[in-house]
């Protein structure tokens, strides 16, 4: 699908969708349980893959009046009757690999072309350390994967700078092993807030995990059981970043973003970063509202080590700001749905942005950038698509984005929301 977005002013209010990160974990946690209700879940392409994984391991997922009713496999996943296809969802593949290590038998996991290029080797090695068998069919550490269990727990050493999802997968699975897990990190942990999300959600499901000096620990023999048998998913700060950025760049008079309650999500940092850049913004934490108005922004330096999903949004803000914006500690951002560092450098350059790309950084010279409408590519990445749509709001003329359907991964109603905010979006 192609979507054309003209230079526009935006106004009104918008509701952020439920958190994709929390939804993935809540669905699988309900699978690890005997069963649970998950309220306010994000229904997207990615989260549907996790629902499918739960069903593949012997659970059942049914939506009734907007609520997910999940009959779980009670800590004992069955050998799937077929290949587990994770689509484009890296979170699904990593979390499902943890569950597969518990199976008394074999599991084959695969995904689309993009997912089959993403790194999985450290998690496969961790399964092997714990007594399971795990391999890449192509011998390159990438899907398709074959995982055989069951593991019983123990100690494992794993790098923390490839994907925090590896640690989340091990913690979730480790809670139902006999012996629990001691996880030692051999390198600095990147994207640490995503593990914080996992620990927080585990606690909500009655499972205790904790940070240690060396890494993380989770006791075995635990039972997943949320309070009163249900869990409510909070709003998504990654998705809110596009709406907040739209307000800061084009809000006239203002945009009110609803559903932004304080949480463990690292991407809540977007509010502080906008304020640092000079945005006229009020965050009403108690009622989850942020009001933002069009502002003259100034470039800044942001370490995206813990907030990789913000890089596309921040690149756009930098291109529209005075001065220079440096997005540093960004190498791991290259291993997402696409290489987001290169993607944003290339696509924003088509729109007139002056950008330097380094291995672990993106440097945006806003003072030298004059954004103009252009034909750009989403490159199979929902976050690239949405950030380019925000850039289009302040680019002279019209911007046409190819591959715009990929917003369905995390924010299915994104372009409807832009339209409601006053943007004459056209689709074909």
pLDDT digits (tens, 9 = 90+) for 276-296: 999 999 999 999 999 999 999
pLDDT, one tens digit per residue, over 145-198 is 999 999 999 999 999 999 999 999 999 999 999 999 999 999 999 999 999 999
Secondary structure E strands in 33-163: 35-39, 60-64, 67-71, 84-85, 106-110, 133-136, 145-148, 154-158
Kind and range of the H or E element at 50?
helix 45-56
Percent of the chain with pLDDT over 70: 100
Residue 233: C-alpha distances to residues 18, 33, 39, 230, 284 (Å) = 6, 17, 6, 10, 20
| Distance from the first to the final alpha carbon of the chain | 6
Radius of gyration (Cα) for the chain, nearest Å?
Answer: 21
- To 10 degrees, the CA torsion angle through 15, 389, 23, 104? 170
Could you give the residue numbers annotated as active site? 309
The sign one gets for the Cα dihedral 312, 315, 316, 317 is positive
Average pLDDT for 96-100: 98
Q: What is the mean pLDDT of the chain?
A: 97
Residue with tokens 């993380």: 216
| Three-state DSSP class for residue 59 | coil
90 assigned to a ligand binding site: yes
Average pLDDT for 291-309: 97
163 assigned to a ligand binding site: yes
Kind and range of the H or E element at 230?
strand 230-232
- Asked if 274 and 307 touch (Cβ cutoff 8 Å), the reply is no
Give 139's contacts (C-beta < 8 A, 6+ positions apart).
none
389-398 burial: b if 16+ Cβ within 10 Å, else e: bbbbbbbeeb
Percent of the chain with pLDDT over 90: 99
Q: Is the predicted pLDDT of residue 263 greater than 90, yes or no?
A: no
383 assigned to a ligand binding site: yes
pLDDT tier for residue 237 given thresholds of 50, 70 and 90: very high
Centroid of chain to Cα 34: 27
Give 245's contacts (C-beta < 8 A, 6+ positions apart).
270, 274, 313, 316, 317, 387, 390
Q: Is the predicted pLDDT of residue 25 greater than 90, yes or no?
A: yes
The pTM (predicted TM-score) of the whole model is 0.88
Set out the domains of the chain in order of their start, with CATH numbers: 2-17+235-427 (3.65.10.10), 20-216 (3.65.10.10)
Q: Is the predicted pLDDT of residue 35 greater than 90, yes or no?
A: yes
DSSP structure class, residue 19: P
User: Taking the CB of residue 253, how many other CB atoms lie within 10 A of it?
Assistant: 9
8 assigned to a ligand binding site: no
- Give the whole-angstrom CA distance, residue 18 versus residue 131: 37
Bridge partner residues of 5 (DSSP): 399
Q: Which pLDDT score is estimated for 295?
A: 97
| Three-state DSSP class for residue 192 | helix
pLDDT tier for residue 6 given thresholds of 50, 70 and 90: very high
Q: Is the predicted pLDDT of residue 101 greater than 90, yes or no?
A: yes
350 assigned to a ligand binding site: no
Burial of 45 per CB tally in 10 Å (0-12, 13-18, 19+): middle
21 assigned to a ligand binding site: yes
Show the tokens assigned to 24: 């993935």
Number of residues assigned to the chain: 428
Backbone phi, psi, residue 34, to 5°: -70, -25
């Amino acid at each position: 699908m192609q979507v054309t977005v003209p230079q526009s002013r935006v106004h009104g209010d918008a509701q952020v969708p439920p958190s994709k990160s929390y939804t993935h974990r809540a669905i699988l946690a309900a699978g690890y349980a005997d069963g649970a209700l998950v309220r306010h879940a994000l229904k997207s392409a990615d989260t549907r893959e996790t629902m499918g994984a739960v069903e593949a391991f012997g659970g059942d997922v049914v939506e009734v009046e907007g609520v997910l009713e999940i009959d779980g496999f009670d800590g004992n996943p069955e050998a799937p009757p077929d290949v587990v296809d994770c689509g484009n969802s890296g979170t699904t593949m990593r979390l499902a690999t943890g569950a597969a290590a518990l199976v008394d038998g074999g599991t084959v996991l695969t995904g689309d072309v993009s997912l089959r290029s993403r790194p999985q080797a450290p998690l496969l090695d961790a399964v092997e350390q714990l007594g399971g068998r795990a391999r890449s069919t192509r011998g390159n550490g990438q899907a398709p994967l074959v995982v055989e269990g069951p593991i019983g727990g123990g100690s494992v050493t794993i790098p923390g700078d490839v994907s925090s999802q590896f640690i989340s997968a091990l913690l979730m699975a480790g809670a139902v092993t006999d012996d629990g897990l001691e996880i030692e990190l051999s390198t600095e942990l990147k994207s640490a807030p995503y593990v914080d999300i996992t620990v927080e959600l585990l606690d909500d499901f009655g499972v205790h995990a904790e940070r240690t000096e060396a890494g993380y620990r989770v006791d075995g023999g635990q039972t997943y059981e949320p309070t009163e048998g249900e869990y409510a998913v909070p709003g998504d700060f990654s998705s809110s970043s596009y709406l907040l950025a739209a307000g800061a760049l084009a809000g006239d008079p203002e945009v009110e973003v609803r559903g932004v309650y304080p949480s463990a999500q690292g991407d809540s940092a977007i509010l502080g970063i906008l304020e640092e850049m000079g945005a006229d913004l009020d965050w009403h934490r108690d009622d989850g509202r942020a009001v933002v108005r069009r502002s003259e922004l100034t470039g800044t330096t942001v370490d995206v080590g813990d907030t990789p999903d913000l890089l596309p949004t921040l690149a756009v803000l930098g291109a529209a700001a005075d001065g220079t914006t440096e997005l540093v500690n960004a190498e791991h951002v290259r291993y997402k749905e696409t290489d987001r560092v290169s993607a944003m450098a290339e696509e924003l350059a088509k729109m007139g942005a002056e950008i330097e790309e380094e291995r672990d950084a993106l440097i945006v010279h806003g003072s030298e950038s004059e954004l103009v409408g252009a034909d750009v590519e989403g490159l199979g990445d929902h976050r690239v698509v949405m950030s380019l749509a925000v850039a289009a709001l302040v680019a002279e003329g019209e911007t046409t984005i190819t591959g715009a359907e990929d917003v369905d991964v995390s924010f299915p109603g994104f372009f409807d929301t832009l339209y409601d905010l006053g943007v004459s979006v056209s689709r074909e």
